[in-house]
Amino acid sequence: MPNQLLSDRDVEFLLYEVAHADKLCELPQFADHSRETFELFLTSARKLARGVLWPAYKPMDEAPPRLEAGQVLVHPVMREIWPRLAELGITCATRPYAVGGQQLPHTVGMLASGYLMAANAAAFGYAGLTAGAAHLIEAFGDERLKRDVMPRLYSGEWAGTMALTEPQAGSSLADVRTRARPAGDHYLLDGNKVFISGGDQDVTANVVHLVLARIEGAPAGIKGVSLFCVPKRRLEGSDNDCTAAGVFHKMGWKGLPSIALNFGERGDCRGWLVGQPHQGISYMFQMMNEARLMVGMNAVATASAAYHEAVEYARTRLQGRALSQRDPSSPQVPIIEHADVRRMLLRQKAIVEGGLCLLVTTARYADLGDTRSLLLLDLLTPIAKSFPAEFGFESNTLSLQVHGGYGYTSEYLPEAWLRDQKLNSLHEGTTGIHGMDLLGRKVVQQNGAALLGLSEEIAIDVAKAGGSEGAALQQAVERVGTLTMALAASGDRDKFMLHSADYLTLFSIVVIAWQWLRMTNAAAGKQGDFHDGKRQAARYWFATELPRVEHLAALCESGEASYAEMRPDWF
């Protein structure tokens, strides 16, 4: 059976039985839509994913991009894939009709992207970055950029990138050094960027970089960083002194080039200011929720493809016998018969489907768009980004492990997905950054309003569920509440933030338990393998993961300071 990448049945379940996405059509912006239009788009996406992106995955993993005579050459199959992605309209599916979009809910667009990511994360990456660049112009660009650049990005005529990182400015974007000097209607840029995904390629006629840089005389720090639109080729067609200086050799995502870019080596790299001077970081941050949810979706997708591969392998690979079977001439059994293999599969299922449900839950808050929903979106974003990245990596590791020695070879796919997955704990904010974002900002801002809102949302599902799982989740949520208040009351910021990593983990475990409760609520009273599997995975998560919360909470409260007090010379 071919790998289904994401389970269609699970997507249907999450959309209509858990999240009731059809009800989103009651909102004015989605009034033209219906379950039928959602399904039309999803069907096109999964067809493209399975029929076009998926067969190209291994070839692209095996033949990474190279730089020749200043031009990056990517796998030629991208020239077949790119027009198909553009035709699907994946870059602007959730954007308004006014800019050529389909005005679909994020909830639907996210899942459609999920199929494409599961099939071929690198190939989808070109589209994801282009969408991000176009959206920045749509939100903050002037009329000229919106007229001359944005439509060519959304249509796929050109591709876009996000050019943020510099050698000395990764997690600390405040330290961006690329300079911009006013020169009439444009600026002249001078500097170097690294790790620019899609930073050059031979697929589209132009590549448009959305670049963070400092206007001469700007204040130090993040309040002096501006955003510029810097095309590889200027609108009239001439080259723009923006050159690919090198290709990074990555562990995974091998089909998508990661480029070192030099701006202004000849002193004539022209960029156009996007929005107001010195507002670049705040513009980026306004886009970041979306980008972070996309990373979370990518991590779920990468774990999902590997999970389905492992289930299929475990059903067909014969090895060993039941513990009670003493006859060595009896036939070997499929390894799914071994309880320890089912453990590895069930853990993957709990992570993958719990993560997917969280992405749907979070995207739905973005679609609802009211103040309270946006507060919840904001709170859940660091979890929706980092849980799939971290636990997804474990899930991918288990997929490889289920494949035994074969899993260690590139004759099978799990090792490739494991390599792909590792990026997701690094880009769009490392896991450490998200831990600090959650504890240092999200749960405490507005006197904990977001956390209170979350508790209320969970309480509704707990009330529906009743039973021991509902009670256990309720208790865990209360534990998070008292812990957060205790930490916030301590007054010492360093001590408060000390166990931000543990806090992120325990918060994630609780939020995923909530997703499993939402799913068992939706499955209540329904029979059959699919719903039985949901109940069983929920049972697994509540029995094995939720009890970890108390230990982690105690660590956060304890002021346990082993690494805080560890001196650099002691390593």
Nearer to its own copies, 266 or 493 (CB): 493
Minimal distance in Å, beta carbon 419 to its own copies? 8
DSSP string, 262-273: EE-TTS-EEEEE
Residue 408 in contact with its own copies, rule: CB under 8 A: yes
Residues in contact with its own copies, shown as a per-residue x/- string from 490 to 529 under the rule CB under 8 A: ---xx--xx-xx---------------------------x
Minimum Å distance from CB 383 to its own copies?
A: 17
Q: How far is the CB of 531 from its own copies (least distance, A)?
A: 9
Quick note: the x/- pattern for its own copies over 219-238, rule CB under 8 A, is xxxxx---------------
Residue position matching structure tokens 């980092």: 386
DSSP 67: E
Closest to 347 in 3D by CA, of 314, 407, 395, 387: 395
Please say which residue, 203 or 259, places its beta carbon nearer to its own copies.
Answer: 259
- DSSP at 179: E
Q: Which stretch binds its own copies (CB under 8 A): 20-28, 122-130, 333-341, 459-467?
A: 333-341
Shortest Cβ distance from residue 172 to its own copies (Å)?
A: 4
Query: Which phi and psi angles does 556 have, rounded to 5°?
Result: -60, -40
- Which residues sit opposite 298 in a β-bridge? none
Minimum CB–partner distance for residue 396 and its own copies (Å): 11
- Which listed residue (100, 186, 459, 540) binds its own copies by CB under 8 A? 540
Q: How far is the CB of 230 from its own copies (least distance, A)?
A: 21
**Cβ-based nearer residue to its own copies, 47 or 548:** 548
Instruction: Please select the residue that binds its own copies; options are 184, 329, 447, 525, rule is CB under 8 A.
Output: 329
Cβ proximity to its own copies: between 261 and 269 the closer is 261
Site for its own copies in 415-454 (CB under 8 A): 415, 418-419, 422-423, 425-427, 430-432, 435-436, 440
**Contacting its own copies within 40-69 (CB under 8 A):** none
User: Which residue, 63, 414, 408, 412, is CA-closest to 254?
Assistant: 63
Task: Compute the least distance from the CB of residue 312 to its own copies, in Å.
Answer: 9
List all residues 6 or more positions away from 161 whose beta carbon is below 8 Å from its beta carbon.
129, 133, 196, 197, 198, 199, 207, 208, 209, 210
Minimum Å gap between C-beta 59 and its own copies is 14
Least CB distance to its own copies at residue 132 (A): 17
Which of 178, 365, 377 lies closest to 288 in space, CA to CA?
377
Q: Are β-strands 71-73 and 269-273 bridged in parallel, bridged antiparallel, or unpaired?
A: unpaired
499 burial via Cβ count (<10 Å: 0-12, 13-18, 19+): buried
* Separation of alpha carbons 320 and 338, rounded Å: 9
Place of tokens 């060595």: 328
* Site mask for its own copies (CB under 8 A), range 348-377, x = bound: -x----------------------------
Which of the ranges 25-33, 355-363, 373-381, 393-401 carries the binding residues for its own copies, by CB under 8 A? 393-401
Binding segment for its own copies (CB under 8 A), chosen from 372-380, 394-402, 447-455, 507-515, is: 394-402
Contact 509/354 with Cβ under 8 angstroms? no
End-to-end CA distance of the chain: 50
Residue 474 or 505 having the CB closest to its own copies: 505
Nearest approach, Cβ of 40 to its own copies (angstroms)? 29
Tell me the two tokens of residue 110.
């996210």
Q: Which residue has the tokens 């805080």?
A: 564
- Looking at residues 272 to 311 of the shown chain, list those that interact with its own copies (rule: CB under 8 A): 311
Q: Assign 3-class secondary structure to 113-152.
A: HHHHHHHHHHHHHHHHHHHHHHHHHHHHCCHHHHHHCHHH
The CB-of-426 to its own copies minimum distance in angstroms stands at 6
Size of the site for its own copies (CB under 8 A): 102
Among positions 77, 346, 438, 517, the unique one binding its own copies when judged by CB under 8 A: 346
Q: How far is CA 19 from the centre of its chain?
A: 19
Q: Taking the complex as a whole, how short is the minimal distance between the CB of residue 568 and its own copies, in angstroms?
A: 5
* 565 interacts with its own copies by CB under 8 A: yes
DSSP lists the bridge partners of residue 261 as 193, 244
Shortest Å distance, C-beta 318 to its own copies = 7
By CB under 8 A, is residue 564 in contact with its own copies? yes
| Identity of the amino acid at 325 | Q
Q: How far is the CB of 13 from its own copies (least distance, A)?
A: 14
The window from 97-105, 271-279, 282-290, 404-412 that contacts its own copies (CB under 8 A) reads 404-412
Please, which of residues 203-222 interact with its own copies by CB under 8 A?
219-222
Contact between 444 and 484 under an 8 Å Cβ cutoff? The reply is: yes
Q: Which of 74, 336, 379, 413 binds its own copies (CB under 8 A)?
A: 336
CB 302, min distance to its own copies, A: 14
For residue 288, give the 3-state DSSP assignment: helix
Residue nearer to its own copies on the CB measure, 186 or 338:
338
d(CA 318, CA 321) in angstroms, rounded, equals: 9
Token code pair at residue 240: 């723009």
Nearest CA to 91 among 118, 125, 60, 57? Answer: 125
Q: Which residues pair with 159 in a beta bridge?
A: 207
In whole angstroms, how far apart are CA 444 and each of 86, 439, 488, 499? 41, 7, 7, 15
By beta-carbon proximity to its own copies, the closer residue of 22 and 394 is: 394
Backbone angles phi, psi at 493, to 5 degrees: -65, -40
Contacting its own copies within 172-201 (CB under 8 A): 172, 174-175, 194-195
- With contact defined as beta carbons under 8 Å apart, do 272 and 228 qualify? yes
Helix ranges (DSSP H) in 317-338: none
Residues 242-261 that bind its own copies (CB under 8 A): 248-252, 258
Q: Which of residues 114-173 bind its own copies (CB under 8 A)?
A: 165, 168, 170-172
Query: What tokens were used for 111?
Result: 């899942």
